[in-house]
């Protein structure tokens, strides 16, 4: 049996993958990428959009893994089964996802299953979305002896407020912020400076630090907000 390699594709711009990631895609026998179905039944995959723009010839196959929803254990078991078949055929298998592969990633779940199954695994890190988003701001994400907090799928705006108040010198990043509604209302009464970024590094990138830009705006899945230390001016 050969090796399973998790490869981070980075935040969305195909040029933001590493030299090592590209070389590994070129050398693999098969590349699996996460995909989901749209409401109209079409296959959607941000990872595939990145792969299509890179210089390699390896066969690419989808793993159908919805970004939200139920029965996730069963969905991951099926995805792992497809990977395992290729490993059992003696193939060198790569599994990709956007961002990094062990930081709030799709691959993380498959990695645990493969480890439990005794498969030899390796990891090629990718740039996480929050790092690329922060690169679009006009100040450091964090520096010196300040701390850094990140939450994904926040439970409530109270959770966010509690974190901001408990650690006033720290930066807070909120990922998968779409799970909450009424961001505009929250931000109008929050005094921290912020950077809101949608789809960093893609043609659909949108960046603002102005609350008014978020009035009536629909928040997509790939959006991130960075709360910096200090007071908004």
Binding site for its own copies (CB under 8 A): 10-11, 13-20, 22-23, 100-105, 108-109, 111-112, 115, 123-128, 131-132, 134-153, 155
Under 8 Å between Cβ of 179 and 154: yes
Report which DSSP code applies to 10. B
> Least Å distance between CB 7 and its own copies?
11
Q: Which is nearer to its own copies, 169 or 191 (CB)?
A: 169
> Do strands 148-152 and 223-227 pair parallel, antiparallel, or not at all (unpaired)?
unpaired
Structure tokens at 203: 């043609």
Q: Which is nearer to its own copies, 34 or 126 (CB)?
A: 126
Q: Which is nearer to its own copies, 15 or 182 (CB)?
A: 15
- Spatial CA neighbour of 197 closest among 186, 185, 210: 210
> Least Å distance between CB 42 and its own copies?
27
CA 129 to chain centre: 6
> Do strands 194-198 and 206-208 pair parallel, antiparallel, or not at all (unpaired)?
antiparallel
Q: Which is nearer to its own copies, 136 or 217 (CB)?
A: 136
Degrees (nearest 5) of the Cα angle 136, 213, 153? 70
> Least Å distance between CB 28 and its own copies?
16
Under 8 Å between Cβ of 233 and 182: no
> Least Å distance between CB 102 and its own copies?
5
> Least Å distance between CB 188 and its own copies?
25
Q: Which is nearer to its own copies, 19 or 233 (CB)?
A: 19
> Least Å distance between CB 216 and its own copies?
27
State the helix-helix crossing angle for 106-116 and 72-88, rounded to 10 degrees: 60
Q: Which is nearer to its own copies, 15 or 57 (CB)?
A: 15
Structure tokens at 146: 């300040």
d(CA 110, CA 100): 14
């Amino acid at each position: 049996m050969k090796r399973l390699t998790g490869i981070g594709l980075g935040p969305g711009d195909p040029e933001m993958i590493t030299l090592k990631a590209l070389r590994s895609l070129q050398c693999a026998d098969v590349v699996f990428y996460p995909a989901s179905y749209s409401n109209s039944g079409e296959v959607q995959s941000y990872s595939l959009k990145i792969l299509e723009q890179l210089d390699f010839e390896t066969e690419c196959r989808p793993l159908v893994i919805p970004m939200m929803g139920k029965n996730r254990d069963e969905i991951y078991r099926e995805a792992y089964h497809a990977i395992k078949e290729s490993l059992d055929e003696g193939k060198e298998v790569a599994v990709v996802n956007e961002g990094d592969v062990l930081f709030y990633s799709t691959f993380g779940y498959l990695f645990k299953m493969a480890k439990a199954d005794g498969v030899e695994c390796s990891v090629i890190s990718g740039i996480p979305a929050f790092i690329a988003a922060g690169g679009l701001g006009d100040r450091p994400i964090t520096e010196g002896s300040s701390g850094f907090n990140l939450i994904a799928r926040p439970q409530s705006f109270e959770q966010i407020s509690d974190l901001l108040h408990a650690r006033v010198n720290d930066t807070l990043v909120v990922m998968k912020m779409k799970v909450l509604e009424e961001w505009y209302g929250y931000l109008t009464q929050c005094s921290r400076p912020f950077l809101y970024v949608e789809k960093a590094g893609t043609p659909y990138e949108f960046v603002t630090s102005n609350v008014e830009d978020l009035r009536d705006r629909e928040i997509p899945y790939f959006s991130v907000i960075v709360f910096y230390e200090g007071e908004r001016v």
